[in-house]
Amino acid sequence: MVTAQTNPLLGDFNTPHDAAPFDKIENEHFMPAFEEAIKQGKADVEKIKNNPETPTFENTIVALDEVGRLLTRTAGIFFNLMSSETNDELQSIAQEVSPMLTAFQNDISLDPVLFERIKAVYNKKDELDLTTEQETLLENNYIGFVRSGANLSDADKEKFREYSTELSKLSLDFGENVLKETNNYQLNITDESKLAGMPEGALEAAAGKAKAKDKEGWIFDISMPSYLPVMKYADNRELRKELYMAYNTKSFKGDEFDNQKNVKRIAELRLEMAKLLGYTNYADYVLERRMAMNADGVYGLLNDLYEASYKVAKEEKAEIEAYARKNGFEGDLMPWDWSYYSEKLKVEKFDLNDEMLKPYFELSSVVDGVFGLATELFGITFKENKDIPVYNDEVTAYEVFDADGTFLSVFYTDFHPRPGKRGGAWMNDFKGQWMDNGVDSRPHVTIVMNFTRPTSSKPALLTFSEVETLMHEFGHALHGMLAKSTYSSLSGTNVYRDFVELPSQIMENWAVEKDFLDRFAKHYETGEPIPAELVQKIVASQNYLAGYLSIRQLSFGYLDMQWHTLEKPFEGDVKAFEVSAWKKTQIFPEIDGVCMSTQFGHLFAGGYAAGYYGYKWAEVLDADAFSVFKEKGLFNKEVAASFRKNILEKGGTEHPMILYKRFRGQEPKVDALLKRSGLL
């Protein structure tokens, strides 16, 4: 029998701040914990349904927000490990657990008795004298149930249940296929002459990988710290092409890890669910609860930015082609040539490259700088606590305190690639924030990266892009750590998807500000501060390839919208569909065998379906919002306090445009972004 005594996931954690007891959790504990947590969650629901009293805001809406706390805690731990520290056993558990969780969620959202209670409260909302946050919670519950099928007939509810269960499993399959493809690839090179042009640090890291696998020479893979230096610096064009093809053909080879069927079926299931609910397509369904509001709003943004970007991108390509030819290149410039020649031209134009900057961006110093920025702006401080258990020795756990010493959050950092970690960078929480009987239950937040590892002779030195990535994810973390809501479902990053990137992207703006860089960017060997001329070069090069980078993001937005504005199931060729979807944004010839859709985890294994445009929308917001800091002072306490109070603390308690206007005093304009990008 599973008990709290035998399963660390089921009892009190008895750790600092009730942090997850990773040192005690074994894989075998998860399935019994999920089973028990679902059982308790169902009992919570039955208690609400069987309450003989008239439905009220407290006994129905608040009670529902508190359902399944044990399940939320268990899932938070499990799915974070699935991303950061996975293995075959965890993946097998996920395949079993995922349909169980979907069934549990469907049992709630499709329950007619529960919905009648919610509807009874909703119908008398004008008489209840609710706070703004309570109104939002009530509306979210009512609309959430409707959007999850509560008004469907019994037969259609059953279809909805089947579709959503299959969808959860396929999304899991999609992500696992991409991770396995990534982990399966390695290129062992023993001839040093093939590695001409490669930086010393990248070679040292590749030699370390080879040594760890008892191989001679150097091993390269398609994790970002290994892949990017090859694309930027390797003189050997065939080597660049080899890595490019390995990276861009993921899950598109017709083998066991192929995702083409998954892509089509996921798109079809989303469409069928949307149609059941009365929508023409999945985008209409999603965008109803976004700042963009509908597909026209999204296409309006994408098209406006396209008009400002495409001509610039073509000019940038022509410039790089001319540069390549001047340096002996013949034939067509291909995607595997782009980073190589654009990096060389960047060095020539600005006398700047990653290798010049990396010595000033030693990881622990950058972390100190980013923490220091949060202290300067918001008064918060970070203290490492080795008594908080971690899931891997590379993870560091901190306590975060407010200016008055009040505890705010547990904060974990996890910086380097491992075989069990998926690619990319992300923020998540192991536990959200909420109020319980007047007691503020604080969040446990994590940021996860795939940064270049330290080598035998050097500490971890970051590229400037990695510095920006760290600041981006830290911005998400602030959104979670500074949360100040009453109800868990409205707290922290539980906001509209096209608003969630504002707190992350605004933080990146400080990365090019000399007054900020001077505080921490010091040479890891000499301690010399970053020279003023290097900072000027960073600023001068900030808009290098702005047109190309904008068009690239827009291409993903167009591809996303094309998949999710389908009005009938797609039976054709995934690659041909993709080529058509983003055709007007492409500046390179089409390459046989490569496909973005089959590895596009944001769309098919994450939460960005019909929402990828949100990155560009958030750029509009962050450029507009940061202009206030530029005007009133980079470290202006009043502006920072307003941003904290109106954006970071508020979560999803009000409509994001209301929150934004409360901070900014007006709706955002695209002008600040175009000006910042040099596209105006």
* pLDDT digits 0-9 by tens, 509-534: 999 999 999 999 999 999 999 999 99
Give me the torsion for CA of 640, 641, 644, 647, rounded to 10°: -90
Cα of 164 vs its chain's centroid, Å: 22
Q: Domain check: are 416 and 307 in the same one?
A: no
How many residues would you count in the chain?
Answer: 680
Distance CA 466, CA 81 (A): 23
Comparing CA positions, the residue from 350, 355, 321 lying closest to residue 335 is: 321
Angle at which helices 260-276 and 546-564 pack, to 10 degrees?
60
Please report the pLDDT score of residue 3 as a whole number.
66
Strand, helix or coil for residue 219: strand
Q: How far apart are CA 194 and CA 242, in angstroms?
A: 12
113 vs 346: CA distance, rounded Å: 64
What is d(CA 215, CA 354) in angstroms, rounded to the nearest whole number? 28
From residue 569, give the alpha-carbon distance in Å to each of 150, 264, 272, 565.
Answer: 24, 8, 8, 11
Residue with tokens 């990988």: 209
Written as one letter, the residue type at 208 is: G
Question: What pLDDT is recorded for position 2?
Answer: 58
Any domain includes 281:
yes
Report yes or no: 499 and 479 within 8 Å, Cβ to Cβ.
no
C-alpha closest to that of 484 among 597, 596, 646, 354: 646
Residue 169 inside a domain? The answer is no
What's the rounded Cα separation, in Å, for the pair 107 and 382?
A: 41
505 shares its domain with 563: no
* Rg value, the chain, Cα: 25
The tally of CA atoms less than 13 A away on the side-chain side of residue 604 is 27
- Specify the CATH number for the domain of residue 103: 1.20.1050.40
495 plus 620 within the same structural domain = yes
CA distance 532 to 81: 42
Task: Map residue 412 onto helix, strand or coil.
Answer: strand
Is 537 contained in some domain?
no
Same domain, 398 and 517: yes
Residue 117 main-chain phi, psi, to 5 deg: -65, -45
pLDDT of residue 669: 85
Q: Is residue 11 part of a domain?
A: no
- 417 & 474 share domain: yes
Question: Two tokens at 642?
Answer: 């307003």
Residue 54: what are its φ and ψ, rounded to 5°?
-60, 140
What is the Cα–Cα distance from 338 to 336, expressed in whole angstroms? Answer: 6
Residues of the chain with pLDDT below 50 are none
* Domain containing residue 560: CATH number: 1.10.1370.10
Element (H, E) at 641: helix 637-643
Q: Is residue 159 part of a domain?
A: no
- Do 385 and 516 belong together in one domain? yes
Domain count, the chain: 4
| 512 in the same domain as 639 | yes
59 with 139, same domain: the answer is yes
Would you say 237 and 337 are in contact if contact means Cβ atoms under 8 Å apart?
Answer: yes
Task: At 532, list the tokens.
Answer: 């003023």
- Domain harbouring 409, CATH code: 1.10.1370.40
Residues 203 and 65 in one domain: no
Contact 282, 616 (CB under 8 A): no
By residue range, what is the domain housing residue 121? 16-151
Question: Rounded to whole angstroms, how far apart are CA atoms 484 and 435?
Answer: 9
**Count of other CB atoms within 10 angstroms of residue 559:** 22
How far apart CA 37 and CA 72 sit, in angstroms, is 9
Domain endpoint, select from 578, 610, 642: 610
Indicate whether 668 belongs to any domain: yes
What gap in Å lies between CA 660 and CA 663, rounded to an integer?
5
Alpha helices in 50-153 (DSSP H): 63-65, 69-84, 88-109, 112-123, 132-147
Closest CA to 554 of 312, 290, 262, 263: 312
Q: Please identify, among 567, 593, 610, the residue that sits at the C-terminal boundary of a domain.
A: 610
268 with 344, same domain: the answer is yes
Residue-level pLDDT at 168: 94
190 closest CA partner among 205, 202, 207: 207
pLDDT at site 4: 63
352/384 same-domain check:
no
Whole-structure pTM value:
0.91
| Last-in-domain residue among 92, 125, 151 | 151
Known catalytic residues are 473
CA atoms within 13 A on the CB side of 489: 18
Please indicate, yes or no, if residue 420 is contained in any of the structural domains: yes
Whether 205 is covered by a domain: the verdict is yes
pLDDT at position 430:
96
Rounded CA separation 95/86 (Å): 13
Q: Judge if 596 and 630 occupy the same domain.
A: no
CA distance 483 to 440: 10
- CA–CA separation, 371 vs 477, rounded Å? 11
What span, in angstroms and rounded, lies between the C-alpha atoms of 597 and 433? 35
In whole angstroms, what is the distance from residue 78 CA to residue 30 CA? 7
Q: SS3 for 243?
A: helix
